[in-house]
């Protein structure tokens, strides 16, 4: 098993991909979102998260609160990937981030629909996986983010 990519690196990259917004907003897909891409409709705050924030989220959150929520989201994403695609941990750290980013962005159920791409990644056909990713609706929707992820799959280096 390869070393895991750390939370801080993931968060830095997710801020580039998702942005950091301290007031609630509606994402392009129409979901109420806050912080670093936290979908409040699909992933509402837990009681612990509500207690940590200490006030209704509609009032906004701080940077520290956004990073706290993102760390919790990363735990969930890693658990989803471990349960459904355990081979993802055998990838190098940058390709692990691509898997985290894909799951963070679309959720595990949607990610599992990318059967050809996932099979290509799992079997080491990384160039093909990048090509397949770029042929998806996802790539049309997220543009540069998909390009970065596809290039990373193909080269093993995230830029």
**122 in helix, strand or coil?**
helix
What global pTM score does this model have? 0.94
**21 in helix, strand or coil?**
strand
Number of H helices and number of E strands within the chain? 9, 3
Confidence label for 70 from pLDDT (cuts 50, 70 and 90): very high
Distance CA 19, CA 120 (A): 29
**50 in helix, strand or coil?**
helix
Task: Return the CATH fold of 7-155.
Answer: Lysozyme (1.10.530)
**34 in helix, strand or coil?**
strand
What does residue 23 show for φ and ψ, rounded to 5 degrees?
-115, 145
Write the pLDDT tens digit of every residue in 83-133.
999 999 999 999 999 999 999 999 999 999 999 999 999 999 999 999 999
């Amino acid at each position: 098993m390869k070393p895991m990519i750390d939370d801080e690196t993931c968060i830095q990259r997710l801020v580039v991909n998702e942005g950091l917004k301290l007031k609630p907003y509606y994402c392009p897909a129409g979901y109420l979102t806050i912080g670093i891409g936290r979908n409040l409709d699909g992933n509402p705050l837990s009681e612990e998260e509500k207690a940590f924030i200490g006030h209704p989220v509609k009032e906004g959150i701080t940077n520290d609160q956004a990073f706290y929520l993102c760390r919790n989201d990363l735990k969930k994403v890693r658990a989803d990937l471990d349960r459904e695609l355990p081979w993802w941990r055998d990838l190098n750290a940058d390709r692990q981030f691509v898997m985290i980013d894909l799951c963070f962005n679309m959720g595990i159920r949607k990610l599992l629909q990318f059967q050809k791409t996932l099979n290509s990644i799992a079997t080491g056909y990384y160039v093909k996986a990048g090509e397949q990713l770029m042929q998806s609706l996802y790539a049309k929707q997220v543009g540069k983010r998909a390009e970065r992820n596809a290039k990373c799959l193909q080269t093993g280096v995230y830029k």
